Amino acid sequence: MKSIKTLLFFLALTLGLQAQAQRCGAHIIKGDLDISYEGTADKRFDMNSVMKFPQAIYVAHYLDSCNISLDQRVTVKKQDLEQDTWSPMLKMIDVEQEFSYGELLALSLQQSDNNACDLLFKLCGSPRDVQNYLRSLGFRNICLKWTEKQMHSKPRRSRDNWCTPRDMAELLNWFYCERQSSPVLMYIWDLMLNCETGNNRIKAALPPGAKLAHKTGTGFSKGKTLKGINDVGIVVMPNGDIYPIAIFIKHTKREEEVAEIAKLLLSP
């Protein structure tokens, strides 16, 4: 007969796994296989700044459709930008500054600049425009409703910008397959290969010689707990194998948990 301590330990372990399954979703495409972690691939998770990746897919479509070059420049006035938000571009502007569309995409994708993201919404199309375009491609479980400014004013709105890990992994797969069809998509691919955020997430789980094109997302914090730690991207293995991967964690105190999950999914 098992001891009471053993039974209690088993019960605690089971409850722990159930709680983990509720707060963590991960999905990876390996060849013809779709692999989910803890069976949460079709549950909704807040995207946070991961939304800047599907937004970039729409921006590529918009620029191509309107015959707008990545080098075309727009004037940005510092007084029109949000000051109390994550925005490295604020340090680049005294009063006003010209930015190209390519530079705005780089700031949004590589440094997760919230003002750059919202400028792209203003110039190219609203969150609803992005969502409608994604649905025209067949991705019905990626929802965008609010800009970064709107979410910053009411953090609860971040719940309305959601996706399922499965659809995000499928969008990554679409992106990889279509990247060479457009110079803008290829530019986005290069930007994501050189993303400057999330070194402790999927990137930390890569085997030697592998590359990662990715976009991170981080939610609002509550004490020592982070409400939403995300990382989505395309792993390029040394042998040329391609693995689209999407990891979302609702609540965690350890950013490194993303890397631990990625190692499980990427293991042979």
Is 4 inside any structural domain?
A: no
How many domains does one find in the chain? 1
- Is 2 part of any domain? no
Contacts of 166 (CB under 8 A, 6+ apart): 27, 34, 36, 41, 42, 141, 246
Domain hosting residue 68, numbered range: 26-266
Side-chain-facing half-sphere of 54: CA atoms under 13 Å: 36
**1 in any annotated domain:** no
Active-site positions read 49
Q: What share of the chain is helix, strand, coil (3-state, %, to 5)?
A: 50, 25, 30
Asked if residue 56 belongs to a domain, the reply is: yes
Tell me if 8 is assigned to some domain: no
With respect to residue 194, please indicate whether it lies within any of the assigned structural domains: yes
| One pLDDT digit (tens) per residue for the chain, 268 residues | 444 433 333 333 333 334 444 568 999 999 888 898 878 899 999 999 999 999 999 999 999 999 999 999 999 999 999 999 999 999 999 999 999 999 999 999 999 999 999 999 999 999 999 999 999 999 999 999 999 999 988 988 989 999 999 999 999 999 999 999 999 999 999 999 999 999 999 999 999 999 999 999 998 776 655 678 999 999 999 999 999 999 999 888 788 899 999 999 998 7
Closest CA to 96 of 80, 111, 115: 80
Asked whether residue 18 is domain-assigned, the answer is: no
CATH number, domain of 209, equals: 3.40.710.10
Residue at 10 is within a domain: no
